[in-house]
Amino acid sequence: MQAGRLKPEAAKVVPWFIEAFRGPGQSVCKGRWIEIRHGLKVCYARWEDVGPFRTDHAGYVFGDERPSPNLNHGAGIDVSPAVRDYLGLGSMDRVDWRFVEQADVPAGPWSPYDGSQIVERSH
């Protein structure tokens, strides 16, 4: 979303756009589950929002491109303190992440939380 409106290319780049679209001004990504990996550890969290540095890099978010340079040392994802602690991340550690369907999220410490382990995405 950009300024509270869906971006024109959203229908083309978001794989679940048709099933998730609820109307203008409604995000089709917020609350989606993501899997975050660091070394051998895996954590699941819900997507919160994009930015603050990039909000126009669909090739990174939905493809296989690397994050674009930004003011946060090229960071591509910001995670909550709960995710950081669970994965044992330092301030500049790298992770891999991907969207997953809710049915593919296994039981774990994230299970009792309905979105409280939110991540913010820079792209």
CA atoms of 81 and 64, how far apart (whole Å): 26
pLDDT for res 118: 44
Mean pLDDT of 33-55: 84
Mean pLDDT of 70-80: 70
Mean pLDDT of 87-112: 87
pLDDT exceeds cutoff 50 at 120: no
pLDDT for res 123: 38
CA atoms of 44 and 79, how far apart (whole Å): 11
pLDDT-based confidence at 100, cuts 50/70/90?
A: very high
Indicate the average pLDDT of the chain. Answer: 78
